[in-house]
């Protein structure tokens, strides 16, 4: 009579046979394709020097161009709050010497000023009437900063 291993438990590795086909559900890891550092994507908007090698970043950036309500009249800066644009023009060193409000009502008018109140006064006195409704003047001012489509072929753009 032969006694097998004296009380010593024998560790047996599970034999990977056909009967023990355990499907490991833990293999679903996402494989992200590597972005090649060579490819530089450029923003196609005029005056914009934005570049990235991430396509999603570029798409997000471009959507900001097109979806923002207001735009700096001097560069590609955009924003949804009018006072943000005012602040940008005043603060940006790119726009040294530029005024926040440039009158474009009349081609011959080169009035420009930083003060919104004075600008509205100018509009009333020079181009409209003193009793022009405030809302109308506000609309004129807002229009100077509206982010309009850059391509002039828009049929809705009269
Ligand atoms: Zn851009
Ligand atoms: Zn600007
Ligand atoms: Zn004017």
Alpha carbon of 148 to ligand 1 centroid (Å): 14
36, 55 contact by CB (below 8 A): no
| pLDDT at residue 8 tops 60 | no
Q: pLDDT tens digit string along 15-64?
A: 555 554 455 445 545 555 555 556 899 998 888 889 999 999 999 999 99
The per-residue pLDDT for 129 is 94
| pLDDT at residue 89 tops 70 | yes
String of b and e for 39-56 (b: at least 16 CB within 10 Å)?
A: eebebebeebebebeeee
Q: Where do the domains of the chain lie?
A: 69-145
Which ligand is closest in space to the CA of residue 59? 1
The per-residue pLDDT for 158 is 43
Alpha carbon of 46 to ligand 2 centroid (Å): 12
The per-residue pLDDT for 154 is 47
Q: pLDDT tens digit string along 105-132?
A: 888 899 999 999 999 999 999 999 999 9
Handedness of CA 138, 109, 119, 99 (dihedral sign): positive
Which ligand is closest in space to the CA of residue 44? 1
How is residue 156 annotated by DSSP?
A: T
């Amino acid at each position: 009579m032969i006694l097998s291993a004296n009380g010593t438990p024998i560790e047996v590795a599970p034999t990977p046979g056909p009967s023990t086909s355990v499907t490991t559900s833990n293999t679903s890891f996402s494989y992200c394709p590597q972005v090649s550092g060579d490819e530089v994507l450029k923003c196609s908007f005029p005056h914009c020097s934005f570049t990235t090698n991430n396509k999603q970043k570029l798409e997000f950036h471009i959507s900001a161009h097109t979806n923002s309500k207001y735009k700096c009249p001097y560069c590609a800066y955009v924003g949804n709050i009018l006072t943000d644009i005012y602040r940008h023009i005043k603060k940006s060193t790119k726009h040294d010497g530029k005024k926040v409000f440039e009158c474009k009502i009349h081609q011959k008018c080169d009035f420009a000023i930083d003060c919104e109140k004075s600008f509205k006064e100018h509009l009333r006195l020079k181009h409209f009437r003193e009793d022009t409704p405030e809302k109308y003047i506000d609309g004129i001012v807002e229009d100077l900063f509206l982010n309009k489509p850059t391509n002039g072929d828009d049929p809705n753009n009269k």
